[in-house]
Structure 1
Amino acid sequence: MPIHLIWGDDYEGSNREIEGIIQTLIDPAWKSFNYSQIDGNDPKQNFRALEEVQSAPLGNGNRIVLVRRSPFCNACSIELANKLEQTIKLIPDNTYLILNNSNKPDKRLKTTKLIQKSIQSNPLSTEKSFVLPLPWDLNGQRNLVKNIARNLNLKINHATIDLIVESIGSDSSLINTELQKLALLSEASNDNLNTNGEQEITKNLVEKLIQNNSTNALDIASLLLQGEIIIALNKIKSLLDSGEPSLRLITTLTGQARGWLWVNLLDSEGNQDVKEIAKLIGIANPKRIFVIRKQIQGKSFEKLLGLMKKLLIIEALIKSGTNPMDAFKDNLLTESKIMTNS
C-alpha cells in the first residue's frame, strides 16, 4: 500500500516530483489504463479514487492514482475518513496513491495520522514538502537552488548559489529552467564533469547567461523608479522580443522594488546596520544597501509602494495568461505620475 504525500506552495517543485514518480513507475504503453488523476475538490471523485486504488495494474508496470487538492490531510469528511480507513489496508503493493495539496497536513486529523503511520511503515511510501521560501529568507532561497541543482545532478558552490538567488529569487520554475540552460552551456563549453558524473555550474557561467539579462532588468527598475515609463516600456519590449522570460523579468523587478520598500521602511525606523538590513531583506551582499539608499533618496514610501502594487498586478496578470507586454503597458501607463519624482 504505497502512498506518496506531497505538499507545499511550490507547485513547480511538487509537479516535478510527481512527474518523476509517474515516469519511474508507469509503463508508457499502459499509462492510459494505469494512471488516474482525481480532483480532490469533488467529493464524489475522492470516493472514486479510493475505489480505483484498490485495483492492481493492467499489463506491465504499476498503477498510480493521483489526487490533486487532496482533502485527506486537511479537510476530510467523516464519511471519506471512514472509507480511507477501510481502503488503506487493501491497496496492492504495485498500486500507488499520490496525495497532493498546497497546504501543510493537519496532524490533528485522524486521517493524517493514519496516512503518516502508513508511510512510516512502508519503505515504498514517502512524504515530501515543497515550500517556497519567503522573500527575506535568504537561507531558504539558497536551499531551494541547492535542492533543484541536486535533482538535476549539478555541482554548484556557495558563491554561485548566492548569485542565482540575487538574479532570480525564489521562483522555482525559473531556477529549474535556468539551471538546465546553464548545464547545457557548461556541457557545450567543456566536459567539466567531476568523479560523481555531476556537471559543474560556475559563477562565470551564471554571469554570462543570467546576470546580463538581470542587469538589464535592474536598469528598467531604475527607470520605473525615476518615472521614465516610456523608456522603460521600450526596454521591456526589447528584452521580451529577445527571448527574455516575462516571469523572470517581473520577478527581478518586484524583487528590486521589494528591496527599496524594505530599506526605506527600516531606514525610517532608524536602523543603520547594513548587515542586519541585508539579512532581513535577503540580500547576500550588504554593500548593496548603500546602492539602494542612493537609488531611493528623495522617494517617499507611498511612491515605492505604488510601484510595488503595479508590479504585483502585472505579475498576477502574466501568470493568469495575459500578454506580458499588454500587462506592462496597461498598468505602468495608468496613473504613472505616482512614480514620478517629487
Structure 2
Amino acid sequence: MPIHLIWGDDYEASNRKIQEIIETVIDPVWKSFNHSQIDGNDPTQNFKALEEVQSPPLGSGGRVVLIRRSPFCNSCSIELANKLEQAIKLIPDKTHLILNNSNKPDKRLKTTKLIQNSIQKDKNSQEKSFILPLPWDINGQRNLVKNILHRLNLKMNHEAIDLIVESIGNDSSLINTELQKLTLLAEAVNEKFTEKEPLEIQKELVKKLIHNNSTNALEIANLLLKGERITALEKIQSLLQNGEPALRLITTLTGQSRGWLWVHLLDAQGNQDVKEMAKIAGIANPKRIFVIRKQLHGKSLETLLTLMKEFLKIEASIKSGTNPIDSFKDNLLTQSKILTNN
C-alpha cells in the first residue's frame, strides 16, 4: 500500500517529485487507465479517490491516485477519516496514493498519525517536504539556487548566485526557468562543454540575462518612489506587452519596497552596520544599502508603507484573475488621485 505524502509551498519541486513518481510507477501505454487526479477541495471527490485507490492497475505497470490539496492531514471530516481508515488497509501493492498539500501536516490529527505510521511500515512509501526559504532568508535562497544548480548539473561562483537571489528571490520555478535559459547560452559559447562535467555559468552571463531583466522593474520602483506614477505605468504597460511575467514584475517591486522599509526603519534606529542591515533587510549585497539610503533621502515612512500596501494589493488582484495592467492602474492611479486631493 504505497503512500506518498508530499507537502510544502515549493510547488515547482513538489510537482517535479510527483511527476517522477508517476513516470516511475505507470506504464505510459496504460496511463489513461491508471492515472487519476483528484481535487481535495471537493468532498465527494475525496470519497471517490478512496474508492479508486482500492483498485489494482489495469495492464502492466502500476496505478497512481493523486489528490491535490489533500485534506487528510490538515482538515478532515469524521466521515472521511473513517473511510480512509478502511481504505488504507485495502490499497494494492501496485497502487500508489499521492497526498499533496502546501501546508505542513497537522500531527495532532488521527488521520495524519495513521498515514505517517503507514509510511514508516512500507519501504515503498515516503514523506517529502519542499519548503521555500522566507524572503529575508538570504542563505536559504542561496541554498535553493545551489540545489537547482546541482540538479541541472551546473555550477557558478557565489557572486553569480547572489545576482540570481537579488533578481529573483525565492521563486523556485522562475529560478529553474532562468537557469535553463542560461544553460543554453553557456553551451553556445562554451566550445569545450561536455555533459559529464558540470557546466559553469559565468557571472557576466548571469548579468546579461537575469540582472538586466530586473533593471526595468527597479527603474519603475524608483519612479513610483518619486511620485512619477504615469511614467511608471507607461513602462509597466510596455514591459507587460513585451512578455514580462506580471507576477515576476510585482515580486521585484515588492522586494524593492520591503528593502526600502527595512533600511528606513533601521536608519531611524541609528543602525550604522551595513552588513547587519543587509542581513536583516534581506539584501544580498551590503553595498546596496548606500544606494538605497540616497533613494530614500527625504522620503517618509508613510510613503513607503503606502507603496508596500499598493504592491501587495496588486499582487492579490493579479492572483485573483484580474488583468495585470488593470490591477496596476486601479491601485496606482486611485492612490495617486487620493494623494493629489489631499
The answer, yes or no, to whether TM exceeds 0.5 is yes
Residue aligning to 1:29: 29
SS in 1 for 2:334: coil
- Distance, in Å, in 2 between the alignment partners of 1:283 and 1:263 is 10
Residue aligning to 1:157: 157
Deviation at 1:221, TM superposition (A): 1.0
- Distance, in Å, in 2 between the alignment partners of 1:176 and 1:138 is 18
Residue aligning to 1:9: 9
SS in 2 for 1:133: coil
Residue aligning to 1:20: 20
SS in 2 for 1:6: strand
- Distance, in Å, in 2 between the alignment partners of 1:82 and 1:19 is 29
Residue aligning to 1:257: 257
Instruction: Provide TM-score, normalisation by structure 1.
Output: 0.91
Residue aligning to 2:101: 101
- Distance, in Å, in 2 between the alignment partners of 1:39 and 1:239 is 35
Instruction: Provide TM-score, normalisation by structure 2.
Output: 0.91
SS in 2 for 1:9: coil
Native 8 Å contact 1:194 1:200 kept in 2? no
Unaligned runs of 5+ in 1: none
Number of equivalenced pairs: 341
SS in 2 for 1:333: helix
Is 1:214 aligned with 2:201?
no
- Distance, in Å, in 2 between the alignment partners of 1:46 and 1:120 is 23
Deviation at 1:27, TM superposition (A): 2.7
- Distance, in Å, in 1 between the alignment partners of 2:155 and 2:121 is 33
Q: Deviations over 1:39-88 (max 9, x none)?
A: 22233322221221121111232211011111211122333333323332
- Distance, in Å, in 2 between the alignment partners of 1:37 and 1:209 is 37
Residue aligning to 1:63: 63
SS in 1 for 2:127: strand
Provide the aligned C-alpha RMSD in A: 2.3
Deviation at 1:34, TM superposition (A): 0.6
Unaligned runs of 5+ in 2: none
Is 1:229 aligned with 2:229?
yes
Relative to structure 1, the CA distance from residue 309 to residue 171 in structure 2 (aligned partners, 3 Å threshold; closer, same or farther) is same
Residue aligning to 1:267: 267
Native 8 Å contact 1:40 1:46 kept in 2? yes
Native 8 Å contact 1:63 1:94 kept in 2? yes
SS in 2 for 1:37: strand
- Distance, in Å, in 1 between the alignment partners of 2:213 and 2:325 is 17
SS in 1 for 2:244: coil
Residue aligning to 1:39: 39
Deviation at 1:333, TM superposition (A): 1.7
Deviation at 1:201, TM superposition (A): 2.7
| Residues 64-83 of structure 1: pairs in structure 2 closer than 5 A | 64-83=64-83
- Distance, in Å, in 2 between the alignment partners of 1:256 and 1:53 is 47
Over the matched positions of the two proteins, sequence identity in percent amounts to: 76
